Amino acid sequence: MPARSPATSLDPEIAARLKRDAHGLFPAVAQQHDTGEVLMLGWMDDEALHRTLTTGRATYFSRSRQEYWVKGDTSGHTQHVRSVALDCDGDTVLVKVDQVGAACHTGDRTCFDAGTLPAVRTDGSRAAAGPDGSDGPDGQ
Protein backbone atom coordinates (compact mmCIF):
# COMPACT_ATOMS: atom_id res chain seq x y z
CA MET A 1 0.00 0.00 0.00
CA PRO A 2 1.51 3.35 -0.97
CA ALA A 3 2.29 5.62 1.94
CA ARG A 4 -0.09 8.44 2.62
CA SER A 5 1.08 11.58 4.28
CA PRO A 6 1.06 11.06 8.06
CA ALA A 7 0.48 14.78 8.51
CA THR A 8 -3.12 15.50 9.29
CA SER A 9 -5.11 18.20 10.95
CA LEU A 10 -7.22 15.74 12.94
CA ASP A 11 -7.64 16.83 16.54
CA PRO A 12 -4.87 15.03 18.51
CA GLU A 13 -7.36 13.99 21.22
CA ILE A 14 -9.51 12.23 18.61
CA ALA A 15 -6.46 10.71 16.90
CA ALA A 16 -5.23 9.31 20.23
CA ARG A 17 -8.52 7.42 20.71
CA LEU A 18 -8.45 5.73 17.29
CA LYS A 19 -7.23 2.18 16.73
CA ARG A 20 -6.12 1.58 13.16
CA ASP A 21 -5.19 -1.48 11.13
CA ALA A 22 -1.68 -2.05 9.76
CA HIS A 23 -2.47 0.36 6.90
CA GLY A 24 -3.69 3.15 9.18
CA LEU A 25 -7.35 2.52 8.35
CA PHE A 26 -10.48 1.93 10.41
CA PRO A 27 -14.05 1.04 9.37
CA ALA A 28 -16.72 3.72 9.11
CA VAL A 29 -20.37 2.67 9.22
CA ALA A 30 -22.73 5.11 7.50
CA GLN A 31 -26.24 5.22 8.98
CA GLN A 32 -29.29 7.26 8.00
CA HIS A 33 -29.62 9.73 10.87
CA ASP A 34 -33.41 9.78 11.21
CA THR A 35 -34.36 6.13 10.56
CA GLY A 36 -31.30 4.27 11.84
CA GLU A 37 -31.02 2.41 8.52
CA VAL A 38 -27.48 1.09 8.00
CA LEU A 39 -26.35 2.31 4.59
CA MET A 40 -22.79 1.17 3.95
CA LEU A 41 -19.36 0.40 5.32
CA GLY A 42 -16.40 2.43 4.14
CA TRP A 43 -12.81 2.90 5.27
CA MET A 44 -11.21 6.01 6.71
CA ASP A 45 -7.85 7.12 7.95
CA ASP A 46 -7.14 10.19 10.08
CA GLU A 47 -7.21 12.52 7.08
CA ALA A 48 -10.53 11.15 5.77
CA LEU A 49 -12.06 11.59 9.23
CA HIS A 50 -10.67 15.12 9.44
CA ARG A 51 -12.17 15.99 6.06
CA THR A 52 -15.50 14.44 7.08
CA LEU A 53 -15.61 16.46 10.30
CA THR A 54 -14.60 19.75 8.70
CA THR A 55 -16.58 19.63 5.44
CA GLY A 56 -19.77 17.94 6.59
CA ARG A 57 -19.49 15.50 3.65
CA ALA A 58 -18.59 11.85 4.20
CA THR A 59 -15.06 11.24 2.92
CA TYR A 60 -13.58 7.76 2.67
CA PHE A 61 -10.31 6.17 1.62
CA SER A 62 -10.49 3.70 -1.26
CA ARG A 63 -8.33 0.68 -0.54
CA SER A 64 -8.42 -0.40 -4.19
CA ARG A 65 -7.73 3.00 -5.77
CA GLN A 66 -5.52 4.27 -2.93
CA GLU A 67 -7.20 7.66 -2.88
CA TYR A 68 -9.72 9.71 -0.96
CA TRP A 69 -13.26 9.99 -2.26
CA VAL A 70 -16.21 12.07 -1.16
CA LYS A 71 -19.48 10.16 -1.30
CA GLY A 72 -21.56 11.62 -4.10
CA ASP A 73 -18.88 13.59 -5.96
CA THR A 74 -19.28 11.29 -8.96
CA SER A 75 -22.79 9.86 -8.53
CA GLY A 76 -24.55 12.82 -6.94
CA HIS A 77 -25.67 10.47 -4.14
CA THR A 78 -24.27 12.54 -1.30
CA GLN A 79 -23.96 11.92 2.41
CA HIS A 80 -24.43 15.06 4.48
CA VAL A 81 -22.94 14.36 7.90
CA ARG A 82 -25.14 14.94 10.95
CA SER A 83 -22.86 13.39 13.59
CA VAL A 84 -19.82 11.16 14.02
CA ALA A 85 -19.15 8.89 17.00
CA LEU A 86 -16.35 6.51 17.96
CA ASP A 87 -17.28 3.10 19.29
CA CYS A 88 -16.20 2.03 22.78
CA ASP A 89 -12.97 0.45 21.50
CA GLY A 90 -12.03 3.32 19.20
CA ASP A 91 -11.72 0.97 16.23
CA THR A 92 -14.88 1.96 14.31
CA VAL A 93 -16.67 5.22 13.62
CA LEU A 94 -20.40 5.66 13.15
CA VAL A 95 -21.22 8.39 10.66
CA LYS A 96 -24.85 9.47 10.85
CA VAL A 97 -25.82 11.08 7.57
CA ASP A 98 -28.64 12.46 5.51
CA GLN A 99 -28.32 10.21 2.45
CA VAL A 100 -29.36 11.74 -0.87
CA GLY A 101 -30.07 8.98 -3.40
CA ALA A 102 -28.56 5.51 -3.28
CA ALA A 103 -25.78 4.71 -0.83
CA CYS A 104 -24.61 1.61 -2.70
CA HIS A 105 -22.63 1.64 -5.95
CA THR A 106 -25.21 -0.85 -7.32
CA GLY A 107 -27.90 1.80 -7.13
CA ASP A 108 -29.63 0.26 -4.10
CA ARG A 109 -30.58 2.43 -1.16
CA THR A 110 -28.18 0.49 1.10
CA CYS A 111 -25.35 -1.94 0.56
CA PHE A 112 -27.26 -4.46 2.69
CA ASP A 113 -30.30 -5.00 0.45
CA ALA A 114 -29.17 -8.35 -0.98
CA GLY A 115 -31.31 -10.31 1.49
CA THR A 116 -30.74 -11.76 4.90
CA LEU A 117 -28.84 -14.87 5.87
CA PRO A 118 -30.67 -17.49 7.89
CA ALA A 119 -29.95 -17.14 11.58
CA VAL A 120 -28.90 -20.05 13.77
CA ARG A 121 -31.01 -20.44 16.88
CA THR A 122 -29.51 -21.30 20.24
CA ASP A 123 -30.79 -24.89 19.84
CA GLY A 124 -28.77 -25.21 16.61
CA SER A 125 -31.74 -25.13 14.23
CA ARG A 126 -32.00 -22.58 11.48
CA ALA A 127 -34.73 -19.97 11.41
CA ALA A 128 -36.44 -19.31 8.09
CA ALA A 129 -36.36 -15.76 6.82
CA GLY A 130 -39.55 -13.89 7.63
CA PRO A 131 -41.68 -12.09 5.06
CA ASP A 132 -40.03 -8.80 5.93
CA GLY A 133 -36.51 -10.24 5.62
CA SER A 134 -36.11 -10.68 9.38
CA ASP A 135 -34.77 -13.81 11.07
CA GLY A 136 -38.06 -15.53 11.72
CA PRO A 137 -41.51 -16.03 10.24
CA ASP A 138 -43.07 -13.69 12.78
CA GLY A 139 -40.69 -10.86 11.95
CA GLN A 140 -38.67 -11.27 15.16
3-state secondary structure 17-73: HCCCCCCCCEEEEEEECCCCCEEEEEEECHHHHHHHHHHCECEEEECCCCEEEECCC
- The string of pLDDT tens digits covering residues 84-105 is 999 999 999 999 999 999 999 9
- The number of folded domains in the chain is 2
Q: How far apart are CA 37 and CA 16, in angstroms?
A: 29
Specify the CATH number for the domain of residue 47: 3.10.20.810
| Judgement on whether residues 33 and 75 belong to the same structural domain of the protein | yes
pTM here is: 0.80
Q: Is residue 92 part of a domain?
A: yes
Give the confidence band of 118 by pLDDT, cuts at 50, 70, 90.
confident
**Domain range spanning residue 126?**
114-140
Return the half-sphere exposure (C-beta side, CA atoms, 13 A cut-off) of residue 54.
10
